[in-house]
A and B are shown apart, each in its own frame.
Chain A
Amino acid sequence: MKFLVCISNVPDTTTKISFTPDNKEFNKAGVQFVINPWDEYALTRAIELKEAAGAGTVTVLNVGQADTEPNIRKALAIGADDAIRVDAAPADAYFVAEQIAAVAKEGAYDVILMGKESIDYNGFQVHGMVGEMLGIPTIAPAQKLDMAGNTATLEREIEGGKEIVQVNTPFVASCQQPMCEPRIPNMRGIMTARTKPLKVVPAVGEPARTTVAEFALPPKKQGVKLIDAENAGELIQLLRSEAKVI
């Protein structure tokens, strides 16, 4: 079984978001970048399934410029066998999907795993686009993934419940908790990661279809109005008469 795990390079979850003075770009100064938290589920589950089968390979793929390589190495340290970086800024979801689809086709991967969504752009769309480009099913978001031979059984989260879905390879799935307990690299992993292959390939396909004209921060809150715990019921009056939400 050949697994392709797509990882995106995103600001750490504790990042205070700010933009360049013209509000056109995210201000990267001082920001720590990490593997997108949801992609860690995809990576760990691929490694677990490979280990359980006793055969197979796990390739990680990132569409990004050279500054993403520390996180690609981290994925190799966690247990991926090799890596591919498509050398281009991830201009938009469509552009990223084209790159992933091209790599997936070229390498004839059986299982393409992604995260539920990127925490920077929150598209929740790359997996669907890749599935359509390759003409294969996409299961998103999946909270459980088991494999028996070429057949996968997944649990897909829907609003208010879940679906049990069975598909044959090849397929795309986007992963989220509680699929597995994401692994962290150990010392041996970090050592071996240095020598694992990381191939850099050029971008293909058509340009992006969307561009960010401007970023903005949410409006600031006015400040909190405190109500004495002794008269907690007063809060309910205020929610009705002042805030008008009940």
Chain B
Amino acid sequence: MSVLVVVECADGEVKKSSLEVATYGAKVAAMLGTTATAVAVGEANPENLAKLGEQGITKVLHDAEPRLKDFVNNAYTKLIATAAGQEGAKVIILANSNIGAAVGSRLSVRLKASLATNVVELPKIDGGAFTVKRGAFSGKAFADVSMSGDCKIIAVKKNSAEAQHEAGKTAEVLAFAAQLTDADFADAPQQVVMQDQAGGILLPEADRVVSGGRGMKGPENWGLIEDLANALHAATACSKPVSDVDWRPHHEHVGQTGITVSPNLYIACGISGAIQHLAGVNSSKVIVVINKDPEAPFFKAADYGIVGDVFDVLPKLTAAVKALG
């Protein structure tokens, strides 16, 4: 009765959010007095899968079927359901990603499991009671949810569990065949198009984010945001009006109707701090606000602030980061 952890891989590497999920799963397994087994999806490399031992995973199931490289909902669901059956897993942990939540919701019906998405902490397990804390009201609140039934599926929000690294520990990687057929791949994507990410850092997974609002005046000024982001190894983001007028691509829009981020550092440049924007960023660990208006509402949600002109302040910050070496 192990805990089953779903790890997403891309280009042979385990995604950062899946390292977090692996750590989370290993901790849940310890709470339940059992071990954590991982099952890999995406383009996985056995050598990197073995390193999941560092996160506390004992065993990794790896189906080498090449069509698992791209996300195919049916195939992934069957793969994970088969792995759960083989391992007798009653708790399944995934990342709260577009893949994890999509597969998790199908699995919950197939396995008659209760499902909690957007989970931000380890569960509380007390006899038969199983409770998790999840984000609700688009970042404006949390809910403790009790999960009923024999089987539970948990999708863990990005950046809410820190990945541990116990150097030298390795997991056993086992070949695994879920007997997937052509029918399981019927809804495979025709084409997958990846965007250019600033510095190759994905916004939803980023540790640091530099974000710009209407105060940046126009897309031609985004070099200032990108320079600071590059210096900090940060991803870039923006407010909704900025993506609405196509200064920036839609996938950079954070907030209640965009994506929710929870990096260690969020730097807001020329963003007023409307309630819908704050909802998407207020679980960031440290928030820095740069705004020329001392009355901007964002300052109330900030840890550090500079009242000043972004065109003056941003180059100084970039220079100061570079000076750190």
Contact = CB atoms under 8 A, between A and B. Distances in A.
Contact of B286 (A157, A211, A245): A245
A149 B90 CA distance: 43
Contacts of B143: 212, 214-216
Contacts of A161: 192-195
Interface stretch (B25-33, B59-67, B130-138, B219-227): B130-138
Interface in B154-199: 186-187, 189-195, 197
Contact of B320 (A165, A218, A233, A245): A233
Contact of A235 (B142, B145, B186, B304): B304
B4 interface: no
A38 B300 contact: no
A32 interface: no
Nearest to B132: A210
Contacts of B136: 120-122, 215
B194 A38 contact: no
B141 A217 contact: yes
Interface residues of B, number: 92
Interface stretch (A58-66, A76-84, A190-198, A221-229): A221-229
Interface in B304-325: 304-309, 312-313, 316-317, 319-321, 323-324
Interface in B269-320: 275-276, 279, 282-283, 285-289, 299-309, 312-313, 316-317, 319-320
Given A164-B190, A218-B283, A221-B301, A178 B250 contact: yes
B204 interface: yes
Contact of B144 (A165, A166, A212, A226): A212
Contacts of A218: 139-142, 282-283
Interface in A184-203: none
A123 interface: yes
A222 B323 CA distance: 29
Given A132-B105, A164-B190, A214-B143, A159 B299 contact: no
B98 A159 contact: yes
B118 interface: yes
Contacts of B320: 232-237
Interface in B195-250: 195, 197, 202, 204-205, 208, 232, 250
A94 interface: yes
Nearest to A242: B304
A68 interface: no
Contacts of B316: 232-233
A158 interface: yes
Contacts of A119: 137-138, 256-257
A15 B190 CA distance: 41
B299 A224 contact: yes
A229 B308 contact: yes
Contacts of B96: 124
Contacts of B139: 218
Interface of A: 11, 13-17, 19, 26, 37-38, 93-94, 97, 119-129, 131-133, 137-141, 143, 156-167, 177-178, 209-218, 221-222, 224-229, 232-240, 243, 245-246
29 contacts: A13-B257, A93-B105, A94-B114, A120-B138, A121-B137, A124-B118, A129-B106, A131-B73, A139-B187, A159-B202, A159-B204, A160-B194, A162-B193, A164-B191, A209-B113, A210-B146, A213-B131, A214-B144, A215-B136, A221-B300, A224-B300, A225-B305, A232-B313, A235-B288, A239-B288, A243-B265, A243-B286, A246-B208, A246-B324
Given A13-B256, A17-B140, 17 more contacts: A17-B137, A120-B137, A124-B118, A125-B101, A127-B105, A140-B98, A159-B204, A162-B193, A177-B257, A209-B114, A209-B115, A210-B146, A212-B145, A221-B301, A227-B305, A232-B317, A246-B265
Closest 6 CB pairs of A and B: A128-B105, A229-B308, A233-B320, A163-B189, A161-B194, A209-B114
